[in-house]
Amino acid sequence: MLTGQVYFCRLVILLNTHFLKIASVFRSILTIFFHFFQIVPRVDSIGLNEQELWMVCRIGGGPHCNDKGLDGPPSIAIASDILHWMLDALGRSGGSRLTRIHFHTLTYHMAVVADPSPWRNQASAVLAGTRIAATQACDDLDQVRPEKLELRVTGEVRLSMLSNDEKFTRTFDPGRPVMTWHRPEMTFHLSPVLVCRKPVKTVGLGDAISATGLYYSGFER
C-alpha cells in the first residue's frame, strides 16, 4: 500500500488530477483517516457521492455530521455547507492543490471551486453531468425522453443551513437549470437531475458523471 501511495503522490505532481471512488479505494474508516487526508491535497479535483460525502465529513468533523441522519442523500443546504467546509479545510492547507469538488446524488449535482481558480465552465460541466445521469440511467444516450424523467427539485431552494441570509434562499426556475451562488472565496454551481423513473443502466453511472463534468470543464494552470 505504501509503495502504491508513494507512486500516486509522485504521479499527481505531474498531472491535473481528479480523484474519485473514495469508498472503494479505502475500505475501512481507519484507512480513510490515514490516507484520504494525505492524498487529497495532492490532487486538483475530487468527486464524491453521498456515501463518500458523509464518510469524509464524519471523519473530519464537518458540519451536520453527527450520529443521526448519516445515510441517504443530504439536502442541498446541508451538502453546500459540507462542501464549503471541505474545500476550506482541504484546499487551503499549505501546498494543497485542491480547488474543485464535484458532488453528485440522485436528484441534483453540485460543484464548488475556489476563487480565484484555474477551473472554467463549471456551470456547463455540472449541467452536462446531470444530463448524462438522466440519459444513461434510462439507456437513452441518443436523446432526452421527457416522458421517462421527473424533476424532483422544485420551488424554493435553501442553499445553506448555517446562514439565514436571504441570498441563500432561491426559487428554482426550470428555464434556467443551473443555479450559481457565492460564499467567501468560493463559487457554487447546482443543477437538478431529471431523474429516470425506471432506471435500467446504473453500473458505472458515477464514473460517467464525473468524467462528463471534467470533459466540459476548462482548466488553466
What is the tens place of the pLDDT at every residue in 131-168?
999 999 999 977 889 999 999 999 999 999 999 999 99
Q: What are phi and psi of 219, to 5 degrees?
A: -140, 125
Task: Grade residue 65 by pLDDT with cuts at 50, 70 and 90.
Answer: confident
pLDDT at 182 over 50: yes
Task: Grade residue 5 by pLDDT with cuts at 50, 70 and 90.
Answer: very low
Task: Grade residue 71 by pLDDT with cuts at 50, 70 and 90.
Answer: low
Task: Grade residue 23 by pLDDT with cuts at 50, 70 and 90.
Answer: low
Rg (C-alpha) for the chain, rounded Å, is: 17
Q: Could you tell me how many residues make up the chain?
A: 221
**What is the average per-residue pLDDT within 9-18?**
46
Given this model, what pLDDT does residue 154 score?
A: 93
Q: Whole-angstrom Cα distance, residue 129 to residue 211?
A: 8
Q: Whole-angstrom Cα distance, residue 151 to residue 192?
A: 7
Task: Grade residue 17 by pLDDT with cuts at 50, 70 and 90.
Answer: low
Residues facing residue 47 across a β-bridge: 102
Given this model, what pLDDT does residue 190 score?
A: 97
Q: Whole-angstrom Cα distance, residue 183 to residue 188?
A: 8
Task: Grade residue 18 by pLDDT with cuts at 50, 70 and 90.
Answer: low
Q: Whole-angstrom Cα distance, residue 122 to residue 6?
A: 31
Q: Whole-angstrom Cα distance, residue 210 to residue 161?
A: 26
**What is the average per-residue pLDDT within 17-41?**
61
Q: Which has the closest alpha carbon to 19: 46, 51, 38?
A: 46
- What pTM does this model have? 0.84
Please give the residue that has the higher pLDDT: either 24 or 199: 199
Q: What domain range includes position 31?
A: 2-219
User: Is 142 assigned a catalytic role?
Assistant: no
Q: Using an 8 Å Cβ cutoff, are 109 and 130 in contact?
A: yes
Q: Whole-angstrom Cα distance, residue 206 to residue 215?
A: 14
Q: Whole-angstrom Cα distance, residue 100 to residue 122?
A: 10
Instruction: Spot the catalytic one: 67, 88, 115, 207.
Output: 207
pLDDT at 176 over 60: yes
| Number of domains making up the chain | 1
Which residue intervals of the chain are DSSP H helices? Answer: 2-12, 22-25, 29-31, 37-39, 50-60, 76-91, 122-137, 205-215
Tell me the pLDDT tens digit for each residue of 95-111: 899 999 999 999 999 99
pLDDT at 47 over 60: yes
Q: Whole-angstrom Cα distance, residue 7 to residue 19?
A: 15
**What is the average per-residue pLDDT within 21-46?**
67
Task: Grade residue 195 by pLDDT with cuts at 50, 70 and 90.
Answer: very high
Q: Whole-angstrom Cα distance, residue 192 to residue 104?
A: 10
Share of the chain above pLDDT 90, in %: 57
